[in-house]
Homo-oligomer: A and B are copies of this chain.
Amino acid sequence: MQHSITFTKPDSPTPIVVQVPTNTLLADAAYLAGIDIGQPCGGQGRCGRCAVEITEGSVRRRSTLRLSEADIAQGYALACQTVVEGDVAIYVPPQEKVERRLTSDRVVAEVTVPEGYEYLSDQTVRRIHLELTPPSMDDQTDDWSRLQRAFRLGHRFENVTCSLRLLQKMGDVLREGDWNVTAVVDIKNVIESYETDQSIRMIALQPGLVDEYSPLWGTAIDIGTTTVTVWLVDLVSGQVRAQVAEYNGQIARGEDVISRIIYASKEGGAQELRQRVLDTINSLLDTACKRVKAKPEEVLKATISGNSTMIHLLLGIPAGSIRLSPFVTTVNLPPVMTAREVGLNMHPEASVDCLPGVASYVGADITAGVLSAGVDAAEEVTLFLDVGTNGETVLGNRDWLVACACSAGPAFEGAGVVNGMRATQGAIEEVWINSGSLEPTYRVIGGGRPKGICGSGLIALLSEAFLTGILDKAGNVNLMASSSRVREGAHGGEYVVAWGAESESGEDIVISRVDVDNLLRAKAAIYAGFTVLADTVGIPLESVSKVLVGGSFGKYINVEKAVQIGLLPDMPWEQFDFLGNTSVRGAYYALLDWRKREQVTDIAKRMTYIELSADNSFYEAFTSALFLPHTDMNKFPSVAEALEGKSTHVDK
């Protein structure tokens, strides 16, 4: 039976009506109506952000998790958990807007071209000039053989292949250029196995002889769960000519990889997620190309990194097995594909190279990160951390590499924290608390009124609250503290960071006991990850000579505070390096230089993946780390010292 569903929205004066059968999900009906209701948890009914108001008619709520009795009484329902049973009128509240403070928009550091980059010896994509003898009655060789002959005689390229699409254009291009043409070829196989599997793929063919030193465009792409980064690179000079980044359009359908996989398992979900990330990438490519006055179809090579789930979703490969024991991917080493196959808006024949991953939760973002951080070439033992939703950790040097992943969850990206938010406009990104008055000082991104607290702010807040005694070792709020900011709230004890009078929403911005628990779990998972990894290979943490932190989130962490809450190991500051987006940088290196590209495969092959979920010692280490900074204070001597000399802590 069909029902009329009428949607009203604050930003649309006229209601939108769609017809759907009984038992249609409200979220699906909204989608049909062209209304985008965000589902950050992937439609699992966990986050409560897809709540809508039923103003008329009858629905059935499968789950009301995250809705209070009052909410339900008022007509609220979760769009992802509620089905229609008759004609219904629905009010869709304003949807959370993703505002930007992406790396690229804040500080675009100029990227240095790797020392010694030589297009003619390092790059596999080459521009080749060909001057052909025109056909005549004495030489009726077919166009393609004629072109192959020119490759052979002029460049010793024996086995050039091309696609049907290129064959379809070939005759016209040759004649338009009056038998002078510029080909773009991918000579990867020639370089790798000279004289044997010498297969060269022709990507493009243009009439006339194009200036040899004019830019030849390639792109390095990092598909993060949260942010997609695109670097547009001139393959001739090696220079990064544009850097752009944007939230991954999949965010509206899940904030972490698990939610995305769940959403993808729904009918049409995988296709929608694939399209969403393609839209994000294609729009970024467009923006980047505009900056350098190029056209997307002039981009001839893409090297892509990203975690295994992101790569599977991009390629339309089901990701379900990643989530379920025994946690395997369908493919860790995807073959090189064309932009047409993948759906990227570049030259349709462009080579698209997705870098190899190692396991379900140690993907190409980590192998690329290891490459760009130089872990695999280090003489001394190095710890590489990607502090993010997945919390991947690599330990090793030029002789060995081990890796693990721990599901830290998106707490540091603001999820699961009542006043948590992403590092965008209005986020409190740094907090100091006066140890006497317990009054806070904070810094807001963009400088206006605060809306919430982002990851770096949460770390600072935890650390400050702990050092000033607002929080105890176990994360309990000390309700005895002499400040009106410390109080009993709806979710247990809480500390008010900003009063309603000063906040954007007019409501108090707080951190509660529940928030602290979520943050402790996230940091404990990361800490347990690298300590178990070190234990597994019998390397004491003290012998680690460098801690390299990747991920753009890592860039904003205050080391001292991260150590104080027990997120990072207690080591001298100079042993830490914050590298920013190591994933896109690794992709950039692999894009430029075939040796670097081979090195990534080598890293993926050499890296031993340690599955933590199969390991009891992880659970023990995790439990021990669920404290500020840790049950074993001996592991954090500098924190012990700070606590003892608490009075010397000077407020800024």
Seen from chain A, the residues whose Cβ lies within 8 Å of a Cβ on chain B are: 135-137, 139-145, 161-164, 167-168, 170-172, 175, 196-197, 199, 315-318, 320-321, 325-335, 337, 341-342, 359-360, 609, 611, 613-614
CB <8 Å contact, B137 and A331:
no
The verdict on A167 contacting B317 (CB below 8 Å), with A196-B197, A611-B137 known, is: yes
State how many angstroms separate the Cβ of A642 from the closest Cβ of chain B: 41
State how many angstroms separate the Cβ of A369 from the closest Cβ of chain B: 19
Which residue of B137, B141, B613 contacts A325 across the interface (Cβ within 8 Å)?
Answer: B137
How far does the alpha carbon of A321 sit from the alpha carbon of B360 in the complex, in Å?
53
The verdict on A171 contacting B140 (CB below 8 Å), with A164-B315, A342-B164 known, is: no
State how many angstroms separate the Cβ of A341 from the closest Cβ of chain B: 5
Which residues of chain B have C-beta atoms less than 8 A from A197's C-beta?
196-197, 199
Which chain B residue shows the least CB distance to A308? B142
The verdict on A328 contacting B614 (CB below 8 Å), with A171-B317, A335-B162 known, is: no
Which residues of chain B have C-beta atoms less than 8 A from A164's C-beta?
315-316, 335, 337, 341-342
CB <8 Å contact, A142 and B330:
yes
The verdict on A167 contacting B334 (CB below 8 Å), with A137-B614, A172-B318, A197-B197 known, is: yes
Which residue of B142, B167, B196, B327 contacts A328 across the interface (Cβ within 8 Å)?
Answer: B142
Please state the number of chain copies in the assembly.
Answer: 2
Which chain B residue shows the least CB distance to A140? B328
The verdict on A332 contacting B145 (CB below 8 Å), with A196-B196, A359-B140 known, is: yes
Beyond the given pairs A137-B326, A144-B330, 15 more chain A to chain B contacts, judged by CB atoms under 8 angstroms and listed by A's residue number, are A136-B326, A137-B613, A139-B326, A140-B326, A140-B611, A141-B328, A142-B330, A142-B332, A142-B333, A144-B332, A145-B331, A145-B333, A167-B334, A171-B317, A196-B196
CB <8 Å contact, A316 and B168:
yes
How far does the alpha carbon of A168 sit from the alpha carbon of B139 in the complex, in Å?
46
CB <8 Å contact, A167 and B330:
yes
How far does the alpha carbon of A332 sit from the alpha carbon of B141 in the complex, in Å?
9
State how many angstroms separate the Cβ of A256 from the closest Cβ of chain B: 20
State how many angstroms separate the Cβ of A333 from the closest Cβ of chain B: 7
Which residues of chain B have C-beta atoms less than 8 A from A145's C-beta?
331-333
How far does the alpha carbon of A196 sit from the alpha carbon of B199 in the complex, in Å?
12
Which residues of chain B have C-beta atoms less than 8 A from A325's C-beta?
137
How far does the alpha carbon of A325 sit from the alpha carbon of B331 in the complex, in Å?
51
State how many angstroms separate the Cβ of A436 from the closest Cβ of chain B: 53
How far does the alpha carbon of A318 sit from the alpha carbon of B168 in the complex, in Å?
6
Which residue of B137, B171, B329, B334 contacts A320 across the interface (Cβ within 8 Å)?
Answer: B171
Which chain B residue shows the least CB distance to A189? B197
CB <8 Å contact, A329 and B136:
no
Complex A-B: 28 CB contacts under 8 Å: A137-B326, A140-B609, A142-B328, A142-B329, A142-B330, A142-B331, A142-B359, A143-B329, A143-B330, A144-B332, A144-B333, A145-B333, A161-B335, A162-B335, A164-B316, A164-B335, A164-B337, A164-B341, A167-B317, A167-B331, A167-B334, A168-B317, A170-B317, A170-B331, A171-B330, A172-B318, A196-B196, A197-B199
How far does the alpha carbon of A252 sit from the alpha carbon of B41 in the complex, in Å?
58
Which residues of chain B have C-beta atoms less than 8 A from A141's C-beta?
328
How far does the alpha carbon of A141 sit from the alpha carbon of B325 in the complex, in Å?
13
How far does the alpha carbon of A341 sit from the alpha carbon of B360 in the complex, in Å?
32
Which chain B residue shows the least CB distance to A320? B171
Which residue of B161, B315, B359, B613 contacts A168 across the interface (Cβ within 8 Å)?
Answer: B315
Which residues of chain B have C-beta atoms less than 8 A from A341's C-beta?
163-164
State how many angstroms separate the Cβ of A375 from the closest Cβ of chain B: 22
How far does the alpha carbon of A320 sit from the alpha carbon of B170 in the complex, in Å?
12
How far does the alpha carbon of A53 sit from the alpha carbon of B250 in the complex, in Å?
60
Which residues of chain B have C-beta atoms less than 8 A from A171's C-beta?
317-318, 320-321, 330
How far does the alpha carbon of A611 sit from the alpha carbon of B331 in the complex, in Å?
53
Which residues of chain B have C-beta atoms less than 8 A from A196's C-beta?
196-197
How far does the alpha carbon of A163 sit from the alpha carbon of B337 in the complex, in Å?
8
Which chain B residue shows the least CB distance to A332? B142
Which residues of chain B have C-beta atoms less than 8 A from A163's C-beta?
341
How far does the alpha carbon of A609 sit from the alpha carbon of B135 in the complex, in Å?
15
How far does the alpha carbon of A168 sit from the alpha carbon of B315 in the complex, in Å?
8
Which residues of chain B have C-beta atoms less than 8 A from A614's C-beta?
137
How far does the alpha carbon of A329 sit from the alpha carbon of B341 in the complex, in Å?
28
State how many angstroms separate the Cβ of A613 from the closest Cβ of chain B: 8
The 5 nearest A-B residue pairs measured at CB: A171-B330, A144-B331, A142-B332, A142-B329, A143-B330
Which residues of chain B have C-beta atoms less than 8 A from A327's C-beta?
137, 140
Which residues of chain B have C-beta atoms less than 8 A from A335's C-beta?
161-162, 164, 167
How far does the alpha carbon of A26 sit from the alpha carbon of B318 in the complex, in Å?
51
How far does the alpha carbon of A328 sit from the alpha carbon of B162 in the complex, in Å?
19
State how many angstroms separate the Cβ of A252 from the closest Cβ of chain B: 23
Which residues of chain B have C-beta atoms less than 8 A from A175's C-beta?
321
